[in-house]
A = this chain, B = another copy of it.
Amino acid sequence: MKKMKIYRDSLAEMKKVVANLTEQTTDLEVERRVAEIIDAVKVRKDEALKEYEKKFDNLDIENFEISSAEINEAFRNLDPKIKEALFLAKKNIVSYHEFEKEQGFIDTKTPGIIRGQKVTPLEKVGIYVPGGTAAYPSTILMTALPAKIAGVDQVIMVTPPQKGGVNQAVLAAAKIAGVDAIYQVGGAQAIAALAYGTESIPAVNKIVGPGNIYVATAKKQVFGKVAIDMVAGPSEIGILADKNANAKELAADLLSQAEHDVRARAILITDDEQIAQKVSDEVTKQLEDLPRKSIATQSINERGFIAIMKSIPEMFELMNVVAPEHLEVQLEDAMKYLSLIRNAGSVFLGRYASEPLGDYVAGPNHVLPTGGTAKFSSPLGVYDFIKKTSFINFSKEALNNDMNAITSLAREEGLEAHARAIEVRFNN
C-alpha cells in the first residue's frame, strides 16, 4: 500500500488544498428516481411502500410496524455486556443533553408591554436507522434521547427490513431509548412515508438520522414540508499534535474514522516532521490486521493526509478551514486551546479523549456536522426538537406611543392597510 500523504506546503497553499476538498456532487439520476419514489408514496401510500420493498429488497412486508412483543424479546435476549454499556451510554447522554434544554423568556421591564418567547417541543419526530452493517445501536440513543428530553410526543423509528428480521441490538436500543414505534421500511420510500404519512406510518414534523445517498437525497427533497437535520456526509477526524504526542495512539485514532467508509477522511496537522513520519509508519503497520482493512486503506490512501505547519497557531488556523466533524487536540495542556477553535463538530481535548469515547459513552452527541458544515451547523441536540414562538401583549397607551413610528414605516413601505390596522383602534 501507499504511505499516507505528507504535505509540507505553506499555510496559504494548504488553505487552497483544503478549500478544494469539500466538493459537493449532485447526482441528477438519483434526484429523479427519488422524486419519483416520493410522488408514488405521497399518492399510493402503503401500497407504494410494499412495491418498493419488494423491488429493492425482495421482501414482502405485511405489517410495517414491528410488534412490541418482538421488541421486548430482542431486549430480553440482548447480551448483558451490551445492555449494560447501552444503559451507561444512556445515562451520560441524558445528563449531558439536559444542559441543552431551553426555557424561553419573558420581558416585563416596560410598563404596559409584555414580550416573550415560548419553547414548544415538536409533536412527532422520525428517526432513520440504516440497515445492514451500518445499523448502529449507539446512533439510536444519540437521536432518540435528545428528542425525548425535548419533550417530543412521538418518536418514530424507520429501518430497512432484513431477510432474517431487523438487527436485534437495534430493536433493544430503541426500547432503551424510549422510541414509541418502529416501522420496517427503508430508503427514499421511508423518508417519503415520514414526510407525508401513509395508512400505517404517521407523518412527522422532522426527520433525522444518517442514511445512504437515496436517503440523503430524499431528506433534501422533503425539506420544507418537514424539517430535517443536516444531510450528513462521510465521517471525518482532524488531529492536532506536536512532537510530544504518541504516534501509535494518533494512528489508531485516525484509523478509527478511516474504517467507517472509503470516503471517510482522516487528517493529522502537526508542526513536527518526526511525528508526521512516525504516524505515517504506524498507520501502515496498524492497517495490516484490521478487519476492515480494505475500507480503511482506501480511505487513508485516497482521502487521508498529514500537513506540517510552522507553529501551533498555524495548525489551528488550518484546522478551522477544514472544520472537521471530530477534532482531537493532542497537545499538552489541551484545554487552554479551546479559544483557538472556531469550526469543529466535537472536540476531544488531551491524550485520553480518544474519538471513539465520544462515539459511545461520553455523553455529547455523535451526530455531527461533516464536510466543512461545522462552519455553520451544530451537533444534533435537544434544540433540534423544539421550536420557539414569540409573543407580545401591549396596552392601549403603549400602542399609542408607537403609533407614529408604525404608520410612518408602513406607509414608507407602501402598506396602507398596515397603518390603518393600528389607527382603527383609536378612531373607532
- With A96-B107, A416-B292 in contact, do A388 and B392 touch (Cβ < 8 Å)? no
Residues of chain B contacted by A369 (CB below 8 angstroms): 387
Q: How many residues of A are counted as interface, with CB atoms below 8 angstroms from the partner's CB atoms?
A: 124
Q: Does A353 contact B (CB under 8 A)?
A: yes
Give this chain's copy count.
Answer: 2
Complex CA–CA separation, A230 to B225 (angstroms):
11
- Please determine whether B357 and A422 come into contact, CB atoms closer than 8 angstroms: yes
- Please determine whether B133 and A414 come into contact, CB atoms closer than 8 angstroms: yes
A285 CB → nearest B CB, Å: 12
Which of the listed residues A81, A364, A417, A419 has the most CB atoms from chain B within 10 Å of its own CB?
Answer: A417
Q: Does A69 contact B (CB under 8 A)?
A: no
Closest to A341 in B: B389
- Please determine whether A376 and B249 come into contact, CB atoms closer than 8 angstroms: no
A241 CB → nearest B CB, Å: 14
A276-303 at interface with B (beta carbon < 8 Å): 286, 290-292, 296
- Please determine whether B252 and A354 come into contact, CB atoms closer than 8 angstroms: no
Residues of A whose CB lies within 8 Å of any CB of B are 24, 79, 81-82, 84-86, 88-89, 95-96, 99-100, 105, 107, 113-115, 117-118, 120, 122-123, 133, 136-138, 169, 205-206, 220, 223-227, 230-231, 246, 248-249, 252-253, 255-256, 258-260, 286, 290-292, 296, 334-335, 338, 341-365, 369, 373-379, 381, 383, 387-396, 398-399, 402, 404-406, 408-410, 412-422, 424-425, 428
